Structure 1
């Protein structure tokens, strides 16, 4: 059995993941340290949470880990960065919070003499309406080191930001051009600069052409790829490859998510790998069934190419682990999850998400055509290569289709920690103070709840879609925090654990309750998440977070909490914590 990596090696792995923009991988790696108390890894965990946008948890851990005691410009500035992010959490920045972060950055600058807190203080002062302070700090950064003596991405990007604050867009552009040529101009570094400039432009407008600065440093785009299945033809493939290769290069795609069906999917994935992009495979259902339905009918060569891409893929995800049930809706569900995953990644990188597609001229009548329609309907940009008439494979017959009704819904399970240990005399109070509150809250969402059921302290509810499930879960979470824990005899702060999933289920008549019930493997998956959810929190699956991301301007945040082992040997799954965005 190999020894775990030293804290130094683990820290290097985390920094490498951050550099390539793999924030989820960075977080998974840093939390693998377990109970090892290493200040450097504690710092990296909080830094990763900050980049993931999980500001509240980052602030809590910053204090819990006592990172301020580490000293040094980076640990000290991290607290100011979290306060800055908190200021931008609402629809409009909080001027009070901006100034709090600004003054903390300025204090750190006076202590450390570093230009990093100085430029952050300058930018925040400019955004908060303190132009004299902004110019003073920015001028100090510019005068600190002559431009020709600067090297390295962050030094040059800091100079560019200072010049932008001073209104010297041409000088800022020259500095950013040099910054992009630095060896450490990685995706992670560029994404932080993009966010800073976006905030500055939003505050002071683009009167001086500052948008052009963003174009210089935008991180590579994130793509969802899809297209028609076809039988191989060397001449056809060569023509399509030339067109798609040009699109991938022009759009600078660095990350991509898609299935690997024969034809368009596999061809696009091969071209992405050829360019050096990071490819993530997302399959709609069990792999053997996917190979049988979507790859093998086009010929054994496609199966070999499928496995070659899979071996080089950055990750393999199953939208659902269920078998293929003979339903086109399963492919549509997988596509929706894939599109949402691409957009989640783009949000983390402050990059643009696009769609790469190869379809026939009348491809709008195909599943891939529906994917294009869905992507564009939610504000996405699709780059479509039109193929000539394609030779389609002879598809195998689908499995026998069940007569039982199926649909795709939001699924909620809840549980109250400590219920089984309540004193018998407290049970009537629990029923009135907890379950009646829960019922009243859910009644407010009655028009979108398809089914509700209880078992003691547990609630199972089925919702029409992901956004309505999210809204109901958070309303329930907030209402049940008002319960009198002392009267119940439970620890202060005890509240419902709530888990959400979105997936296909059966619905049918329950002969015992004489009501419609919902069941299936995805219901079981939702049930397994609730026990690992902390008291008073709402955890959601990756498919739920992805589908929610496809809803456009929704009022929710899904913050990554890691890959977590579910009870009863159900497997290890990435989970997210659901919260409402600040007003």
Structure 2
């Protein structure tokens, strides 16, 4: 391996961490210390490795940590330098698969299999895909077909390369297919080889995780419950912090136990996969607040209550905002536990500080800066506050919930909402009361820290009535504004015709009559937009919901694919690039056209996705994908593509591929 010259990282304790030490640890298959795990997880995207081998080591480790989206981004960066590297493309397939992008992973693996039809890892990954397909389908015959294909691939990988992980997968699947004797024989073969390997691993101080996990699955197949608990408990201990491999082992155990008749022996309790906690809570009271809700005197009690809740949940993964008061207390407590925090801000940092941090004092700004610096990720969902504060927070909170649910889905763990709330209606939409109601509507039991109960435990001096300063007079320019703007959260679709400029003048009549006419007919008979417009080759639709926008986009894509355009005097392969986004926009009457229109920065964001969308496909923003998850939409799915540079230097953003469920 080339000499590593990557400097040092700073972990949350502030101590310098030599990356070469971490990489050496990972190479030797030794579990790194938790502080090293946190340091590398936070800063991996800023690392620019100098060698292919480092990319491969990091990709493998990040996948073990249960961060498929970060792994995907890292591998994309590596493939820019080594586009044909077989191993990197295998990691890409696994990252896509773990993120839920099954079809894209499948296509990539089929390509890899064509290049090397005896590569055991590729064959085993195809086995994993067929197993996932079997779990997803509700059709018994289809399920059996997929399980059979999965078994055949795992068995082939085991025979070709004697991979113990492939062998135990094959044993599990042949058991599910009904051959108990064959499953038992194969499990015994794997057990014998695995026990020998475990001796070597322990002697050489290597990572024993896979041996423990494999032996646990062997014991399950043999229905030796005590032995299964012992091996799985050791696997859980060896895999602490590596949520990716723990969740995969948990998934396999659960599949077996469902076949054997549920978990009657407490096997699944051996796994300590933390739930994802999504948080909302009241800010510290501002001086002008007439009724006490979260006075400063309650800070220590609220902090203690949050710590008790996190301890009870064994919380390690959290999603929150970063306002003064509850948000920052939650983030500080989770970080102190060695957990990871992802922070979602409704608008840009400085504006957010002025709106939701600074009123509580300079010390809270310092604490805000610290949690932002220590957070695993900070996502800003709107460029600016843009007037309606409550709508900006409502939008941000919905995305917060969607991203948290997405993470829980990836790890196949539970999502736990936690709130610091006084139990009363809020000051307006977008606050804690709104979020508690939103979570409950999604079917979640919400853990609540009741501020009203805590208020009775302390002596609080009621502040004197607050007299606000008289508002300043608007300048003549502002006072002259008469345009009425209504702000709404809407889903937007932008599309353009691929190679429109190649159409001849004699094809324009056919383009208007047949092409635009077909789209117009679809917009009447399908999911009807609240606004539509065209100019040249561009098409712009606004919908009331992400479900309507996504379904319409896929129907539009189908229309493009199934219409015989050549018979209408147009190019045979006429197609569209289609882009989707959702966010707060302004509804107004355009003084020029005198028609209703939607404008704002989120319209610009949607428009910048469309030019980078591949012809014939539908791309969506992270916000759109998060809202799809938040609303429990099952009509279609959003699969992660990676961080994509948007048009006109707009920036680089996480982007998703939209398609029907297969």
Determine if the TM-score, normalized by the shorter chain, exceeds 0.5. yes
Provide Cα deviations, 1:446-488, integer angstroms capped at 9, x if missing partner: 4x42112122332211111111111111121122111336668
Q: Which residue of 1 aligns with 2:126?
A: 79
Instruction: Determine which structure has more spread, i.e. the larger CA radius of gyration.
Output: 2
- In structure 2, distance between residues paired with 1:164 and 1:493: 54
Q: Which residue of 2 aligns with 1:182?
A: 238
Matched residue SS, 2:322: coil
- In structure 1, distance between residues paired with 2:71 and 2:514: 42
Q: 1:267 to 1:365 in 2, by over 3 A?
A: same
**What is the CA distance between 1:580 and its match in structure 2?**
2.0
**What is the CA distance between 1:28 and its match in structure 2?**
0.5
- In structure 2, distance between residues paired with 1:112 and 1:48: 23
- Equivalent of residue 253 in structure 2, options 149, 174, 197: 197
Matched residue SS, 1:436: helix
Q: Which residue of 1 aligns with 2:27?
A: none
Q: Which residue of 1 aligns with 2:521?
A: 440
- In structure 2, distance between residues paired with 1:494 and 1:338: 38
- Equivalent of residue 106 in structure 1, options 139, 155, 170: 155
Q: 1:134 to 1:245 in 2, by over 3 A?
A: same
Q: Which residue of 2 aligns with 1:468?
A: 548
Range with bigger deviation, 520-529 or 180-189: 180-189
**What is the CA distance between 1:340 and its match in structure 2?**
0.7
Aligned alpha-carbon RMSD (Å): 3.0
Q: Which residue of 2 aligns with 1:222?
A: 276
Size of the alignment, in residue pairs? 579
Provide Cα deviations, 1:77-98, integer angstroms capped at 9, x if missing partner: 1222223223334344622122
Are 1:120 and 2:169 an aligned pair? yes
**What is the CA distance between 1:102 and its match in structure 2?**
0.8
Q: Which residue of 2 aligns with 1:10?
A: 55
**What is the CA distance between 1:196 and its match in structure 2?**
2.1
Q: Which residue of 2 aligns with 1:422?
A: 503
Q: 1:213 to 1:493 in 2, by over 3 A?
A: farther
| Equivalent residues of 2:113, 2:119 under 8 A apart | no
- In structure 2, distance between residues paired with 1:415 and 1:251: 48
Task: Flag structure 2 segments of 5+ consecutive residues without an equivalent.
Answer: 7-47, 203-207, 286-293
Q: Which residue of 1 aligns with 2:494?
A: 413
Q: Which residue of 2 aligns with 1:159?
A: 215
**What is the CA distance between 1:51 and its match in structure 2?**
1.2
| Equivalent residues of 2:585, 2:600 under 8 A apart | yes
Q: 1:421 to 1:449 in 2, by over 3 A?
A: same
- In structure 2, distance between residues paired with 1:510 and 1:411: 18
- Equivalent of residue 32 in structure 1, options 77, 99, 104: 77
- In structure 2, distance between residues paired with 1:243 and 1:184: 26
- In structure 1, distance between residues paired with 2:114 and 2:56: 16
| Equivalent residues of 1:254, 1:278 under 8 A apart | yes
Q: Which residue of 2 aligns with 1:552?
A: 632
Provide Cα deviations, 1:230-285, integer angstroms capped at 9, x if missing partner: 15977632222222112112212222111100000001110011011111111011
| Equivalent residues of 1:255, 1:279 under 8 A apart | yes
| Equivalent residues of 1:355, 1:380 under 8 A apart | yes
- In structure 1, distance between residues paired with 2:569 and 2:186: 55
Matched residue SS, 1:351: coil
- In structure 2, distance between residues paired with 1:254 and 1:205: 31
Matched residue SS, 1:253: coil
- In structure 1, distance between residues paired with 2:190 and 2:49: 42
Range with bigger deviation, 8-17 or 132-141: 132-141
Matched residue SS, 2:637: strand
Matched residue SS, 1:32: helix
**What is the CA distance between 1:186 and its match in structure 2?**
1.5
Matched residue SS, 1:563: strand
- In structure 2, distance between residues paired with 1:203 and 1:495: 46
Range with bigger deviation, 3-12 or 37-46: 3-12
Q: Which residue of 2 aligns with 1:504?
A: 584
| Equivalent residues of 2:63, 2:244 under 8 A apart | yes
| Equivalent residues of 1:119, 1:141 under 8 A apart | yes
Q: 1:561 to 1:382 in 2, by over 3 A?
A: same
**What is the CA distance between 1:101 and its match in structure 2?**
1.6
TM-score, normalised relative to structure 1: 0.91
Range with bigger deviation, 435-444 or 138-147: 138-147
TM-score, normalised relative to structure 2: 0.81
Q: Which residue of 1 aligns with 2:379?
A: 317
- In structure 2, distance between residues paired with 1:56 and 1:287: 37
**What is the CA distance between 1:204 and its match in structure 2?**
4.5
Q: Which residue of 2 aligns with 1:262?
A: 324
| Equivalent residues of 2:113, 2:122 under 8 A apart | no
| Equivalent residues of 2:405, 2:629 under 8 A apart | yes
Provide Cα deviations, 1:292-351, integer angstroms capped at 9, x if missing partner: 111111111111100011111111111111234143111111111111111111111112
**What is the CA distance between 1:433 and its match in structure 2?**
4.7
Provide Cα deviations, 1:496-531, integer angstroms capped at 9, x if missing partner: 211111111111112343321111111111011011
- In structure 2, distance between residues paired with 1:488 and 1:214: 61
Q: 1:332 to 1:55 in 2, by over 3 A?
A: same
Task: Flag structure 1 segments of 5+ consecutive residues without an equivalent.
Answer: none
Q: 1:521 to 1:307 in 2, by over 3 A?
A: same
| Equivalent residues of 2:215, 2:231 under 8 A apart | yes
| Equivalent residues of 1:417, 1:494 under 8 A apart | yes
Q: Which residue of 2 aligns with 1:60?
A: 107
